[in-house]
Amino acid sequence: MKASTAAPHASARERYAVIGNPVAHSKSPFIHARFAEQTGEPIEYGHLLAPLDAFAKQVREFIDAGGRGLNVTVPFKLDAHALADTLSPRAAAAGAINTLRFDAAGIYGDNTDGFGLVRDIEVNLGTALKGARILLLGAGGAARGVVLPMLEQRPHTLTIVNRTAAKAQTLVAQFTQAAHDSGCRLTGGGASAVEHAAYDVIVNATAGSLDAALPECDERAFGSDTLAYDMMYGAQPTVFMQHAQTLGARAADGLGMLVEQAAESFYVWRGVRPDGAPVLRALREMLAAPDRS
């Protein structure tokens, strides 16, 4: 009998989701639905709201129901790290997880945030990190997740600056060997650690844009050839982006990072790498469209 070429019935599709609290706002279901259409992979993807005190229980129930993988968003990235049986090198370096895969070997944890950032900067924005002078603002979880992937691009300099200087210095100590291996000069501290010359790339990994707050940073760090990148995104440029533009820099938000880290998660799960560019364009159009609700 000739095999059927019909698309798999919805019930045959393998289950994935984004887990967080809150989670209803997440654009991950839209992104992964586009990836599934693009690649023909038979998946379904939804939201999973987990109680703040029951992350592990919710994950195990999802696995028992046939779930194959999860994207993990706030506030559970550290919980996911503790739950995983094995870690990718980048997840181990980040100390946090945004991607879980479930298979016969157990729970595998990865962190695709840094990959997404690097790919957005280099591919979508056309800015090479090799040999670049980079300033990273912030030393929390978002910053920690991107240090190793940036170092792997062999920049000339990476300066980590945080309001609490000791946190930046802790990150420097953690990644000293990786910096040595890449030939990068790695420094860090408080606002005074910013060098008095324009950087090639400045990445805002603080949560300041959520509250329209600017991270403390010497204005001389911004120049006409600087790419000022905010991990946050919205319908309008963030306050950090606006500030950078007034200083003559080129500014970009983190929407491309969101799409590219999702594409890498898809690859971790399915072994197929989708093209993020058309999905990023669709998201930009969605953000720009007037609210019709």
Residues annotated in the binding site, as ranges?
26-28, 73, 98, 113, 138-142, 162-167, 231, 233, 254, 261
- Maximum CA extent, the chain: 74
Annotated binding site for shikimate: 26-28, 73, 98, 113, 233, 261
List the one residue out of 36, 98, 107 whose CA is nearest residue 67: 107
Q: Which of 2, 57, 77, 130 is catalytic?
A: 77
Alpha-carbon span 253 to 251, nearest angstrom: 7
Q: Give the H/E segment covering residue 189.
A: strand 185-189
Annotated binding site for NADP(+): 138-142, 162-167, 231, 254
List the one residue out of 187, 238, 241, 243 whose CA is nearest residue 218: 243
Written as six digits, the tokens of 155 are 């920049």
Alpha-carbon span 28 to 175, nearest angstrom: 30
271 phi-psi bin (left φ>0, alpha ψ -120 to 50, beta other): left
CA-based torsion, 149, 235, 135, 213: positive or negative: negative
Q: List all residues 6 or more positions away from 82 whose beta carbon is below 8 Å from its beta carbon.
A: none
Q: What is the DSSP letter of 219?
A: G
Written as six digits, the tokens of 218 are 């010497």
Cα first-last separation, the chain? 50
Let me know if 77 is a catalytic residue.
yes
* HSE-up of residue 258 (Cα within 13 Å, Cβ side): 24
Residues known to be catalytic:
77
